Structure 1
Amino acid sequence: MTDPQPATTALPATALRARLDPATLGFETTATLAPLDHLIGQDRAVEAILLSAGIGHKRFNLFVHGPEGTGRHSAVMDLLTQEAARRPAPTDWVYVHNFDAPERPRALHLPRGAGQRLKLAMQELVDDLANDIPALFESEDYQRRRAAIEEQFGGQQEAAFAALGRTAHDRGVAILRTPMGFALAPMKDGEVLKPETIARLPEAEQADIQAKVAATERDLEAFLKSVPRLQKDHRAAVARLNADMAQNAVEAGLDRVIEAFRGVAVLEDYFADLHRDLIDNAELFLQAGQREGDGAFPMAAVRLQDDLRFHRYAVNVMICRPADITEGAPVVHETLPTLSNLTGRIDHISTMGTLVTDFTLIRPGALHRANGGFLVLDAARVLAEPLAWDALKRCLETRAIHVITAAERLGLTTTTTLEPDPIPLDLRVVLVGDRRLLRLLEAFDPDFGELFGVAAEFSDEMDRTPAAIDAFARLVASVAAREGLRPVTAGGVAALVDAASRHAGDQRKLSLRVNAIWDILREADHLAARGGAATVTEAEVTGAEAAAERRADLVRERMQEMIARGTILISTRGSVMGQVNGLTVAQLGARAFGWPARITARVRMGAGQVVDIEREVKMGGPIHSKAVMILTAFLVTRYAPDMPLSLWASLGFEQSYGGVEGDSASVAELCALLSALAQVPLSQALAVTGSINQMGEVQPVGGINEKIEGFFDTCRAQGLTGRQGVLIPRQNVENLMLRADVVAAVAEGQFHIHAIGHVDQAIALLTGLPAGRRGLNGDFEPGSVNANVEVRLMDFAEARRDFARHDPTGPAAADRDE
């Protein structure tokens, strides 16, 4: 069977770059085009986003992924905003004081716009009561009724004491008031008897006096015991009066609030608890009124609201929409998704050296603000924030917003804390990330698939069809109109289309990394402004492209400078045995550039070993090591198949200090190895790129434009001779979107690009000799490179066998025995 050797094709200049003819666009400037109101080339992603936005099941949260620069965030925000505009506006949620359990604030669901009205109504009620209750307790009616109570209970106490005095007087006992209390003394004829006088009285009379004093003492004791009861009854009567008066003031003010919210059933129990608490704590308003009157100016309402004792009557609005806005769900993009920014937080204030809190210090998070609508988050940022991802999943699983602080989750809190009622959650969460992060979550987070059941993948390219070009032109018109840029001429749009194809690295594709394209458009508009032009033309677009490349070109220039000065050894003239120019590419951020690399091979008789120097010193990656093993397999199976491979060979990238990865140099490495075996020099005017398989077929590689341009720049620096060029895989022809100067050099015959499909084509171009086919006799054509390779390998095998005969204990003999 003969080896495939399709004819070598030197590509014409027209095959090196797709160029759109502006005349085919059918307009002069984008000012005449209708703007495009939807994405192009992202039909799958749009379908997924609309599904997630429209379906109500909790599993259908969305993960948006795709390459950077495809407009994922802006597209998601636009589509969600359109969907949100068709939804009803969410209703209100507030926190109020729980009068039975203050540590568990109550969450109340109110009609749209009622939250803020309730908050203002409660502020007004508190302010009114702070004025009305003190005024009511200073009223003439209150003073009259209080005086009646004082008179009633004061009279009862005085009457009882007077009766006690009269009884004691009838017994001949005087009740004396002393600084130490009451004292009893016997009397006779209105005079207090002295102890010595009593002592001179008969015993019977003394006993009678003692009995009367003891009886009076018992009556006095009974009177004194009745005094606290009278005072208690007095206080109860005053409390009943105060409650009646407070109730009048509270009911007068609270009735107005209740009437304003009649029909809101959820407030009925709250108003009942509020009514009872206001009456029980009327003293607070009396104290506030007294404090207000102490100063030269009346106390401002805001100061009253700041009094912690009055926080119990406040309303903490968490979610609120104006009552007149009935449509439009929220779309919230939280750029810093910390735990507190997502689920809310509970603040504390310092009082008397202690941190305290209450329900008015509960702050809403992004979940509260987005409730009823959509929440857009950056996936990597959520996962990077401690506790945020777990909290988000818990809220989505329970469909409720739980306000839990990080200190509480970690068990670090030592201050008073709260357990607010969870607020029901009804929203769609959209995570924006990359494909790798999506796969990691799917693999390692079992909860992820249960919550995020839809993935929207943004593509980085689309087919370059006439319909796509028309849509692209309208998209250019939309961006120019939206950002206030100058209209773009047909030539400018054609240049942007070509730029999109170059960014895609494919003549049949358009890049959808539109951010980079719009940056070119913006810079082109800036150049047009500086030049005083009314439109953006092809000249400004190509000028903006060149300027952007020049700004990011420092490293490439330094590499080319080192090649020009001979620091990096690269030759573009002459022929050298076992040496070839390979091509490599570097990616520095968004900028990629290529440059040539010298690849060398050395051979001698051995035991069938091909040494990959990069792999041996651990500077070669696994893909490069695999490529070397593949070319070794091709070498072993193609040449001298009936004889053991008696070869020792080494392959290396000269002046490579940063590691080698990839298989795009395997064709060049094989050509260097074949050159060393056949002892045929390779042209240094040609550079080679391409991967190879075990059949010798050349396979496509990436970065083809940058690699060609890198070698072209080196050849131009050393002087174009008309013989220089690049060998590329024929499958990469459609990926060619080369710079205009490279295309011009090819058109003038100063540079050449050859598309190859087999290593035989590469070796023929590099040596100027036929690669050679196997004839019917099984031998390669005499004088061909393949024939020389096979003869050399057979010579190695004969030499190794002869060496083994003369040295039966040598390595060759050991290999033979094995």
Structure 2
Amino acid sequence: MRLPELNASDLYHACDLKQFSFETTEELESLTEIIGQRRAVEAVRFGIDINQEGYNVFVLGPSGAGKRTLVREFLEQRAPEEPTPDDWCYVNNFDQPHKPIALRLPTGKGPQLRDDMEQLVEDVQSALSGAFESDEYRQRRQSLQERFTEQQQKVVEELQQKARERGLTFMQTPAGLVFAPLDPHGKPMSPEEVQKLSEERRQEFQAAAQEMEKEAQRIMEETPRAQRQARRELKELNHQAAEQAVEPLIDELRSHYEDHPRVLSYLEAVKGDLVAQAEELLKLQREEHEQKQPKQPMGPAGAPIPKSIMESALLRRYRVNVLVKHDPSEGAPVISEDHPTHQNVIGRTEHLAQMGALIADFNLIRSGALHQANGGYLILDTYKLLPQPFVWEALKRALQSKEIRIESPQEMMGLISTVTLEPEPIPLDIKVVLLGPPLFFHLLNALDPEFAELFKVPADFEIDMDRGDENIQLYARLLGTLAQKDQLRPFHRAAVARVIEHSSRLAGDAQKLSIHMRSVADLMREADYWARQNGHDAVGVKDVQRTIDAQRYRASRQYERAQELIQRDLILIDTEGAKVGQINGLAVTPFGDLLFGRPNRITARVHMGKGEVIDIEREVALGGPLHSKGVLILAGFLAGRYARTQPLSLSASLVFEQSYAEVEGDSASAAELCALLSAIAEVPLKQSLAITGSVNQHGQIQAIGGVNEKIEGFFDVCRSRNLSGEQGVLIPAANVQHLMLRQEVIDAVEAGKLHIYPLNTIDQAMEMLTGLPAGEADEQGNYPADSLNGKISSNLAELARRRQQFLPVSENREGN
């Protein structure tokens, strides 16, 4: 029995040029919508619009499908219409410097506050200099000093008067005050004169001196208190002078921030600290004027070290660290972080090396992507995010707590012990969009219980769309839009048709169009290159075809090497004759985004046994689970069809000959079953035919992938050995709608040198491969003796009978 074969018109679904009314894509209107991703766009729109906790978005799809471009363009269209978020600044906490204060300010106010504070410090230094050099301040200070001096002088005079009343005077020596008696003329006596006095007189002077020493001791104890009081009064004078200088400047600054209570509280703290540090500020100002300004130091890369780092610690405490600032006209921020480390996402605190230690202050706090995207949208790639230590957990904590808390992973792990900061957390209001393959989504959903609570909206990306007339017109506009965006030459309508046809080939389905944007965009860019090389003003169909051929050629080294090995009979593939238990199966090998087909010799051997079908690939751990499943299905088919009334008394082995890599998938199960049936029936199979397709337990042939590449792989082998007109390929009938074959294959079919047959059942395959009728069972389940199924049943019955002879008597009785 011979199956009807496919015509050349069945092998390729061309794009009709008559449906295009344009000559080049330059005439087409640009696309403003995203085609083929209605489900994903609606999911993203829903996730962005809903204002509920946990409704962040996970966009899942294969790499190169255009996920990032679609999401970014969608968000950038919406962001300008949304309110611009506030600015955020960190300022010094004068009470607890290790806990910097976060200030929230309207858009544009952050840099204004920073500039105002820098100007304030300059003005304060000038105002303090003027206040402390004013005549009023000098007079008050001089008056205070004179009063203290007078008090001290008065005390000394009183002590002197008391001493004179007792006939004594005192002198200041390194050992302290020394009292000496006076002579009749009021002058201190010398030691010799004192010795000439009578004993009684000397004792009187000595007693008086002791009393005066006690009085002097009492006065000396009063002096430090008087000095402290003088210092307090001087400090109060300085405080009043500083406050009078600072207060007007702070009041003026307060007027700019009347609607911001936290800023007013901060300015009040600044005022108190400026007044307290007034003398240090004046000292610093004097030092700056007295010393020559040194040349600005340079960093390790040759760039000048910023002023904010080199300035004194005293002035740094009054700076404003603008963590996040926005342009009022930009709308909501859309941030895409391509290197999502912990520091780049959460933020960090840098350190300065001083005296061999690492020092940090609020000026060294740096923003992360969460800060920059706060109030807007953050796009992250799970491929890059998940391998980074601590980032995933930190991101989840931030989304759960709705605040950004800057923490160092090294500090959390205790790896460093430095002076560190605890910045005040910043409230978080953000939508996070994660990009990743479906596998990542399903793994996170299964293994991380918090994932489903935080990313409730999956946006599942399509990789193809229907090839209808309306979609073809949209696809043409898409090509025109991509050409304009990348500044490519316009595409002629014939070139557009060829791109559409190749898009169906990429989709693996003649009724679909690939929207794997990386592949389509790369094809257009390379076609533009060849058009430029050929001096064409517009990209033509030959430029597109050359691009397709060049892409295949660049990726085909291993494929051509395999073809060469087959031609040299180093890999054994027969394309003529007939063999028992041997068949040509078809497989595909990926290289990047391309697939290459190649034939594989599959052999089967049978012998008496217990009904086992041994998969040699699985036994040596070269068979994947799907391939092993396919082999088990074969055992089910054999038992269901041929062992209803008798035991299946055979053992069979199946193997991919000269295969040294893992075999996966069930697309060779039809070929394996054919080889197995041939070995059982002892009927040879035509080696001029190759087969692909999976089979179920009922013997139905099922669709597989890569049908175009598989046909072309066998065609290339046969062509290298001269097509005889006998060669052909058996494919599942369901795969006919997927055919988009190369032109040379179509030409060979049209010339009758290659044949392609659609299959529905394994019986059809065996009839084509053996030339024998399959045969149908009668009411008793018996097949015609001269049919293929009759031979198989007969041989299986013979195997069962022979096996029965070798069984022990006890087993025979049990079997009976």
TM category, shorter: over 0.9
Q: Aligned letter for 1:280?
A: A
TM superposition shift of 1:538: 1.3
Describe the shift of the 1:460–1:144 C-alpha distance in structure 2 as closer, same or farther (beyond 3 A): same
Instruction: Say if 2:90 is the partner of 1:95.
Output: yes
Between the aligned partners of 1:240 and 1:619, the Cα distance in structure 2 is: 90
The 3-state SS of whatever aligns with 1:63 is: strand
Q: Aligned letter for 2:632?
A: M
Q: Alignment partner for residue 218 of structure 2, among 219, 222, 225? A: 222
TM superposition shift of 1:777: 6.1
The 3-state SS of whatever aligns with 2:685 is: strand
TM superposition shift of 1:567: 0.3
What are the within-5 Å matches in structure 2 for residues 347-496 of structure 1? 347-496=350-499
- Show the counterpart of 1:263: 259
- Show the counterpart of 1:166: 161
Q: Alignment partner for residue 533 of structure 2, among 518, 530, 535? A: 530
Q: Alignment partner for residue 644 of structure 2, among 629, 641, 652? A: 641
- Show the counterpart of 1:151: 146
Structure 2 spans left out of the alignment, 5+ residues:
297-305
Describe the shift of the 1:8–1:181 C-alpha distance in structure 2 as closer, same or farther (beyond 3 A): same
TM superposition shift of 1:201: 4.9
Asked whether the 8 Å contact 1:304–1:310 carries over to 2, the reply is: no
The 3-state SS of whatever aligns with 1:313 is: coil
Q: Per-residue displacement from partner, 1:372-422 (whole Å, max 9, x unpaired)? A: 100001123222111111111111111111111112221333211111111
Instruction: Say if 2:63 is the partner of 1:68.
Output: yes
- 438-447 or 542-551: bigger deviation: 438-447
- Show the counterpart of 1:58: 53
Asked whether the 8 Å contact 1:623–1:662 carries over to 2, the reply is: yes
- Show the counterpart of 1:291: 287
Q: Alignment partner for residue 764 of structure 2, among 754, 761, 765? A: 761
Describe the shift of the 1:242–1:371 C-alpha distance in structure 2 as closer, same or farther (beyond 3 A): same
Asked whether the 8 Å contact 1:20–1:497 carries over to 2, the reply is: yes
Asked whether the 8 Å contact 1:25–1:490 carries over to 2, the reply is: yes
TM superposition shift of 1:303: 7.4
- 130-139 or 494-503: bigger deviation: 130-139
Q: Aligned letter for 1:286?
A: L
Between the aligned partners of 1:626 and 1:297, the Cα distance in structure 2 is: 82
- Show the counterpart of 2:326: 321
Q: Aligned letter for 1:229?
A: R
Asked whether the 8 Å contact 1:123–1:305 carries over to 2, the reply is: no
Q: Per-residue displacement from partner, 1:451-479 (whole Å, max 9, x unpaired)? A: 11111010111111111111101111111
Describe the shift of the 1:587–1:266 C-alpha distance in structure 2 as closer, same or farther (beyond 3 A): same
- Show the counterpart of 1:736: 739
TM superposition shift of 1:493: 0.9
Describe the shift of the 1:606–1:396 C-alpha distance in structure 2 as closer, same or farther (beyond 3 A): closer
Instruction: Say if 2:719 is the partner of 1:723.
Output: no
Q: Aligned letter for 1:492?
A: A
- Show the counterpart of 1:747: 750
Instruction: Say if 2:523 is the partner of 1:520.
Output: yes
Between the aligned partners of 2:270 and 2:595, the Cα distance in structure 1 is: 70
TM superposition shift of 1:25: 1.9
TM superposition shift of 1:248: 2.3
- 566-575 or 301-310: bigger deviation: 301-310
Describe the shift of the 1:289–1:637 C-alpha distance in structure 2 as closer, same or farther (beyond 3 A): closer
The 3-state SS of whatever aligns with 2:639 is: helix
Between the aligned partners of 2:372 and 2:475, the Cα distance in structure 1 is: 36
TM superposition shift of 1:297: 5.0
Between the aligned partners of 2:570 and 2:82, the Cα distance in structure 1 is: 67
Q: Alignment partner for residue 107 of structure 1, among 102, 105, 127? A: 102
Between the aligned partners of 1:634 and 1:305, the Cα distance in structure 2 is: 82
Q: Alignment partner for residue 311 of structure 1, among 310, 316, 330? A: 316
Asked whether the 8 Å contact 1:305–1:311 carries over to 2, the reply is: no
The 3-state SS of whatever aligns with 1:592 is: strand
Describe the shift of the 1:592–1:814 C-alpha distance in structure 2 as closer, same or farther (beyond 3 A): farther
Between the aligned partners of 1:317 and 1:761, the Cα distance in structure 2 is: 77
TM superposition shift of 1:700: 1.3
Describe the shift of the 1:229–1:776 C-alpha distance in structure 2 as closer, same or farther (beyond 3 A): closer
Between the aligned partners of 2:171 and 2:662, the Cα distance in structure 1 is: 113
The 3-state SS of whatever aligns with 1:118 is: helix
TM superposition shift of 1:539: 1.2
Between the aligned partners of 2:806 and 2:310, the Cα distance in structure 1 is: 104
Between the aligned partners of 2:609 and 2:6, the Cα distance in structure 1 is: 41
Describe the shift of the 1:697–1:246 C-alpha distance in structure 2 as closer, same or farther (beyond 3 A): same
The 3-state SS of whatever aligns with 1:58 is: coil
Between the aligned partners of 1:96 and 1:191, the Cα distance in structure 2 is: 69
Instruction: Say if 2:205 is the partner of 1:237.
Output: no
Between the aligned partners of 2:63 and 2:295, the Cα distance in structure 1 is: 58
Between the aligned partners of 1:697 and 1:165, the Cα distance in structure 2 is: 131
The 3-state SS of whatever aligns with 2:585 is: strand
Q: Alignment partner for residue 208 of structure 1, among 204, 208, 211? A: 204
Between the aligned partners of 1:468 and 1:368, the Cα distance in structure 2 is: 41
Between the aligned partners of 1:261 and 1:617, the Cα distance in structure 2 is: 77
* TM score, norm. by length of structure 1: 0.95
Q: Aligned letter for 1:219?
A: E
Instruction: Say if 2:550 is the partner of 1:547.
Output: yes
Q: Aligned letter for 1:291?
A: E
Between the aligned partners of 2:314 and 2:674, the Cα distance in structure 1 is: 89
- 286-295 or 185-194: bigger deviation: 185-194
TM superposition shift of 1:480: 0.8
Between the aligned partners of 1:525 and 1:344, the Cα distance in structure 2 is: 43
Between the aligned partners of 1:8 and 1:393, the Cα distance in structure 2 is: 61
Describe the shift of the 1:803–1:219 C-alpha distance in structure 2 as closer, same or farther (beyond 3 A): closer
Structure 1 spans left out of the alignment, 5+ residues:
none
Q: Per-residue displacement from partner, 1:425-450 (whole Å, max 9, x unpaired)? A: 11101111111111111112111111
Asked whether the 8 Å contact 2:555–2:591 carries over to 1, the reply is: no
Q: Aligned letter for 2:280?
A: L
Q: Aligned letter for 1:764?
A: E
Describe the shift of the 1:31–1:303 C-alpha distance in structure 2 as closer, same or farther (beyond 3 A): closer
TM superposition shift of 1:78: 0.5
Asked whether the 8 Å contact 2:308–2:316 carries over to 1, the reply is: no
- 189-198 or 716-725: bigger deviation: 189-198
Asked whether the 8 Å contact 1:499–1:517 carries over to 2, the reply is: no
Q: Alignment partner for residue 567 of structure 1, among 563, 566, 570? A: 570
The 3-state SS of whatever aligns with 1:188 is: coil
Asked whether the 8 Å contact 1:581–1:599 carries over to 2, the reply is: yes
Q: Aligned letter for 2:436?
A: G
TM superposition shift of 1:505: 0.5
What are the within-5 Å matches in structure 2 for residues 785-804 of structure 1? 785-803=788-806
* TM score, norm. by length of structure 2: 0.95
TM superposition shift of 1:270: 1.4
Q: Alignment partner for residue 663 of structure 2, among 657, 660, 663? A: 660
Q: Alignment partner for residue 586 of structure 1, among 586, 589, 592? A: 589
Among the aligned pairs, what percent are the same residue? 43
TM superposition shift of 1:198: 5.1
Asked whether the 8 Å contact 1:185–1:213 carries over to 2, the reply is: yes
Between the aligned partners of 1:536 and 1:176, the Cα distance in structure 2 is: 112
Between the aligned partners of 1:202 and 1:62, the Cα distance in structure 2 is: 111
TM superposition shift of 1:647: 2.2
Asked whether the 8 Å contact 2:257–2:264 carries over to 1, the reply is: no
Between the aligned partners of 1:424 and 1:338, the Cα distance in structure 2 is: 21
The 3-state SS of whatever aligns with 1:115 is: helix
Between the aligned partners of 1:641 and 1:233, the Cα distance in structure 2 is: 117
Between the aligned partners of 2:655 and 2:106, the Cα distance in structure 1 is: 76
Q: Per-residue displacement from partner, 1:551-597 (whole Å, max 9, x unpaired)? A: 00001000000000000000111111221111111123322111111
- Show the counterpart of 1:26: 21
Structure 1 stretches (4+) deviating beyond 4 angstroms? 193-204, 297-305, 812-818
